[in-house]
Structure 1
Amino acid sequence: MASTHHSEISPHDIITQVAISDVELAPIEPQNSKETDSLLVVFAEPYDADNPKDWTTGRKWAVTDVLSATGFNRIMVSTIMAPALSLIAKEFDMNSAESAMALSIYLLATAFGPLVIGPLSEVYGRKPILHASNIWFLIWNLVCGFANSKEVLIGSRFLAGFGASAIYALANGVLGDVWRPEQRGRSLSIYLLIPLLGAAVGPIIGGFMAGRTTWRWMFWSTSIFQAVMIFVAFTAFQETYEPLILRSRADQIRRDTGDNRYYTLDERQHTSAGPWRVLGRALLRPLRLLAFHPIIQITSIISGLGYGVLYIVLSTFSDLWTKHYGQSVEISGLHYIACALGEIIGSQICATVMDRLYHRMTVRSERAHFPELRLPSIIPGAVIAPLGLLLYGWTAQYLIHWAVVDLAILIALLGMQIMTAFLFPLFAPRMYEVMGYGWGNSTIAIITILVGVSGPAALWVYGEKLRGKARAVL
């Protein structure tokens, strides 16, 4: 076995000889009669320096931090326009729906992007997809800054959002690549910490830029930051996708030994399929999962509701302070700090509870792990979020002191973080005009608690059964 103190691993350490009759896969044709066995290339146990899960802690955090900082900029860009929507609408002669679309169409793209980007990362690896998406995002975010019409602004926001969606598609995969299950709660909390700050920093920067200079600097400044992150990603981010790492290892062994019997499990599974068929299968898998996997459908509804409520808040929060409380655009942006604090506190609480719950329900109770053991940590958030929304709605309705309103939105988003962003902001302004903040938020709170409690409860009771039925979809 490989020593835990050495990174050099011989071919004998990294292969396991497997008789063809022992695997339910298409056999590799031997080059001569003596080559009757195939040699499976795997990571050495108990330690392999090339295995992302065996990387040093510093190396793991370097990859995690690149994702976190990249996520910060892309989430900041998603919210930075919020305080300046009225100014942009005036310059481009946009109605309320069009100005809301300029903000939320970015989120529409981030909904579609992972359906393509996620599968591509499983064919070509995480690293090249991250680099390509970084450059794509930079180009279209710059176009937003130079837009001369509402059509160009909305279109470039959509394309920038498509590039930004790579972080949503890659983050969970990369964290799963490098961190073991008992470490993922903490790694997720650190990863989320910096991006969630972007939800507050974006509107703050946007508010001051809109009040003191041109709104175009919102996009120019974030493009400068993105250019820096491209350089950092090229130097610090390393490939984490295990099948691709093993494939490179197998290629190297085949070149060094001249023996074509060496292969990886991923190569064996795709031996009979051409590259286009492999790519097509990967691209269709998310759609099949969404169409036929009930667990994916339930969690998608919960996530969609959560993002929808979040962007109702983000797209209307500035108007509350400028139109109803009579505050300046700059000051209205500062209230978004409460939004970010709620999400940050919620993410840190949830991460700690998730890891402790996992340990208590598996290690301490000597119980086998199954995914539904993560669900109990969701329920408190499903109750807290609607209560926060009710408090936010009625304190805003009666123009209670701004500190109480900010506290209420902090509580609401704290709960949302512990538990169809595009369409929600389109109807939110009209909803508040007709129903007011009190009844509007009361309606959202009722829907949130119904979905937030019934969804996890259904997964807790039927999760294992549903997972069994959905295996054929994969």
Structure 2
Amino acid sequence: MANNGTVQDTITAPAPGDIELAATQVDAKQTDQDPFLIAFSEPYDAENPKDWPRRKKWAVTDVLSATGFNRIMVSTIMAPALNTIASELHMSNTESSLALSIYLLATAFGPLVIGPMSEIYGRGPVLHASNIWFLIWNIVCGFANTKEVLIASRFLAGFGASAIYALAGGVLGDVWRPEERGRSISVYILIPLLAVAVGPIIGGFMAARASWRWMFWSTSIFQVVMIAMSYATFRETYPPTILHRRAAKLRKSTGNQSYYTIFERLSANDSLPKRLWTNLSRPARLLIFHPIIQFVSIIEGMGYGLLYIVLSTFSDLYTTRYGQSVEISGLHYIALALGELFGSQVGGRLMDTLFAHLKRRAHGEITPEFHIPLMLPGCLISAAGLVLYGWAAQYHVHWAIVDVGAFLFAFGSQISGQPKQAYVIDSYPEYASSATAASQFVRSLTAFTFPLFAWKMYAAMGYGWGNTMLGGISMVLGVGGCWGIWTWGARLRERSMRDGLR
């Protein structure tokens, strides 16, 4: 991991192996010998995001979380109103499901572009631009008068919304240290997690008491507030961008063009097209050639797909099998929201506690694999909750038991999900946004595709056997993945460092 003042905090373009080499060649002593080399000072630099006061760290974390709330809520807010929208815009069941899930398809492809762009131009410009892009297309959704316009604008809105997935890993990696990873992730995801479940609750009441178009108009009004807040609060966190600005300011104020950063020196001979290609292709190369990303992506993808199966069918379960109104059926999403809420907070604290314990056992040495053991209990709880929810619904047991199962499913999903996010961030500290984008690609694809077959699966197998099958697959992948990463993770990361990303 990068320490204060080392070159590792300043580089974006070279491969991890190149970064280590540069760090041995340009340390604090050499920085003193070369007055034109701009790097973070040791042992403290006020502009180094990892040295920021905690209130400033929490400010950028919280504003990213708050902007994520609206973007993620829009992904599910349509769910209770699908029948109403389908009737008004003359859509088939498949087309209405597509209008809901195509938003998630966009979040698969958006981070592949947005993540690398934040490693070229910085986190701030990308956040602000994506906020405005999302606002424009979300407004268009509210005024859509044909199914084609609605589906297309949902896709484009989702593309802008996907920035939150690409930026989160990068920003958290920029400002927080590995031993603080659990708490920082748990606080960051707290508000967006609530959005996944709050969306259908709000959507259910709007569908029953107002036009479905207010789902988009109201979230657009909220987005304007989020844009203003992000402009006022968010500060650039990407070290290469901060150092580039420092060097540029010195060049301008002194008239001396000799000031430079390590990143500028290493990429001095790269043309803009080459630089764009190197960065934009990085998530794809991570996903195709790096087993660490492949392992985590498959496990995360399964969990995310299961979540969206539950989200897309939960309301229908209560309206068809329990005879409840659309408004009341939406309230059952509170069980999922509470599960995610408690899971994120408990999981974050447990992850930091376990990390500190393993660090002590290793006599102060740290490795990203220290995050992994918490995956095991999380995936077991999640699978058990899914099975309980399925069989309770199958035998028409009291709805409270179904909600308990949904709570346990969401609780366990968060316990196991946070260590995977932390592992990706700490395995690729210089490329956290690209690595997050690569893993998000699979997650979003499963979130898009799984709900498309959920109805037919439950019709053929029932809730009991359907959820038992899904829970079993999830448990096998989770347990096997936990063991595999713990056993081979360090060797796979070492090989990845040799292969490079440049």
Q: Under a length normalisation based on structure 1, what TM-score does the superposition of the two structures give?
A: 0.91
Deviation at 1:260, TM superposition (A): 2.7
Counterpart residue number, 1:205:
202
Output the CA distance in 2 between the equivalents of 1:260 and 1:433: 69
Task: Return the alpha-carbon distance in structure 2 between the equivalents of residues 98 and 318 of structure 1.
Answer: 18
Letter in 1 for 2:484: A
Structure 1 match to 2:84: 87
- Separation in 2 of the partners of 1:457 and 1:365? 19
TM-superposed deviation, 1:275: 2.0
The CA deviation string for residues 202-261 of structure 1, in whole angstroms up to 9 with x for no partner, is: 111100000011111111100000011001111111111100100111112222333333
Q: What amino acid sits opposite 2:492 in the alignment?
A: L
- Tell me the CA shift for residue 450 of structure 1: 1.1
2-structure distance, mates of 1:305, 1:365:
32
CA–CA distance in 2 between the matches of 1:188 and 1:219?
28
Match of 2:230 among 226, 233, 245: 233
1:439 to 447, 454, 465: 465
Give the counterpart letter for 1:106 in structure 2: Y
1:292–1:473 Cα contact (<8 Å) kept? no
Counterpart in the other structure of 1:460: 486
Q: Normalization by structure 2: what TM-score?
A: 0.86
CA distance in 1: counterparts of 2:257 and 2:359, whole angstroms? 42
Match of 2:347 among 350, 355, 371: 350
State whether residues 288 and 473 of structure 1, in contact with CA within 8 Å, keep that contact through their aligned partners in structure 2.
no
Is the aligned partner of 1:104 residue 2:101?
yes
Which range is displaced more, 178-187 or 281-290?
A: 178-187
Structure 1 range deviating more: 344-353 or 284-293: 344-353
Counterpart position of 1:328: 325
Residue number among 380, 396, 401 corresponding to 2:398 in the alignment: 401
- How many equivalent pairs are there? 444
Counterpart of 2:299 in structure 1 is 302
- The answer for the alignment partner of 2:360 in structure 1 is 363
Q: Which amino acid aligns with 1:450?
A: V
1:181 to 178, 181, 197: 178
Q: Which of 36-45 and 398-407 deviates more?
A: 36-45
> 2 CA distance for matches of 1:258 and 1:222?
48
Rounded Cα–Cα distance in structure 1 between residues aligned with 2:348 and 2:34: 46
Distance of aligned partners of 1:406 and 1:187 in 2 relative to their CA distance in 1, 3 Å threshold: same
Structure 2 Cα separation of the partners of residues 358 and 364 of structure 1: 10
Q: Could you tell me which residue of structure 2 aligns to residue 271 of structure 1?
A: 268
- 1:280-299 per-residue CA deviation (whole Å, 9 max, x = no partner) reads 10000100010000110111
**Aligned match of 2:13:** none
SS in 2 for 1:184: helix
The aligned residue for residue 221 of structure 2 is 224
Say whether the 8 Å CA contact 1:396–1:405 is kept in structure 2: yes
Task: Find the aligned partners of 1:80 and 1:339 in 2 and give their Cα distance.
Answer: 15
Whether 1:73 and 2:70 are equivalent positions in the alignment is: yes
Q: In the alignment, which residue of structure 2 is the partner of 1:377?
A: 374
Aligned position for 2:438? none
Partner of 2:246: 249
Give the corresponding residue for 2:313.
316
3-state DSSP class of the match of 1:239?
coil
Aligned equivalents of 2:123 and 2:229: distance in 1?
15
From 448, 452, 455, the counterpart of 1:422: 448
Structure 1 regions of 5+ residues with no counterpart? Answer: 1-13, 15-22, 26-35
Q: Identify the residue that residue 450 of structure 1 maps to in structure 2.
A: 476
* Superposed displacement of residue 276, structure 1: 2.1
Q: Distance in 2 between matches of 1:423 and 1:199?
A: 17
Distance in 1 between residues matched to 2:81 and 2:469, nearest whole Å: 27
Q: What residue identity is the alignment partner of 2:229?
A: V
Offset of residue 24 of structure 1: 6.6
What residue identity is the alignment partner of 1:458? G
Q: RCO higher in 1 or 2 (8 Å CA, sep ≥ 6)?
A: 2
**Is 2:388 the counterpart of 1:391?**
yes
1:416 Cα deviation (Å)?
A: 1.4
| Change in CA separation of 1:272 and 1:24 when aligned onto 2, cut-off 3 Å | farther
Q: 1:43 aligned to 2:40? A: yes
Deviation digits for residues 102-129 of structure 1 (CA, Å, limit 9, x no counterpart):
1111111111111100000000000000
Q: Give the number of the structure whose residues are more often helix, by fraction.
A: 2
8 Å CA contact retained: 1:37, 1:261? no
SS at 2:37 equivalent: strand
Is the 1:141–1:223 Cα contact (8 Å) retained in structure 2? yes
Q: Give the 4+ runs in structure 1 shifted more than 3 A.
A: none
Rounded to whole Å, the distance in 1 between the matches of 2:395 and 2:107 is 36
Q: Which amino acid counterpart does residue 101 of structure 2 have in structure 1?
A: S
Alignment-mate amino acid for residue 160 of structure 2:
G
State the partner residue of 1:8.
none
Partners in 1 of 2:500 and 2:342 — Cα distance?
37
The 3-state SS of whatever aligns with 1:392 is: helix
Change (3 A) 1:424 1:173: same
Q: Which amino acid aligns with 2:83?
A: S
Q: What CA RMSD, in Å, does the superposition of the two structures yield over aligned residues?
A: 1.7
CA displacement at 1:386 relative to structure 2: 0.9
Q: Which moved more, 1:177-186 or 1:254-263?
A: 254-263
Determine if contact 1:289/1:473 at 8 Å carries over to the other structure: no
**Matched residues in 2 for 1:167 and 1:321: separation?**
32
Q: What is the alpha-carbon distance in structure 2 between the residues aligned to residue 324 and residue 87 of structure 1?
A: 20
2:441 maps to what in 1?
none
Against the structure 1 CA distance between its residues 189 and 308, is the aligned structure 2 distance closer, same or farther, given a 3 Å change threshold?
A: same
What SS does the aligned partner of 1:436 have? helix
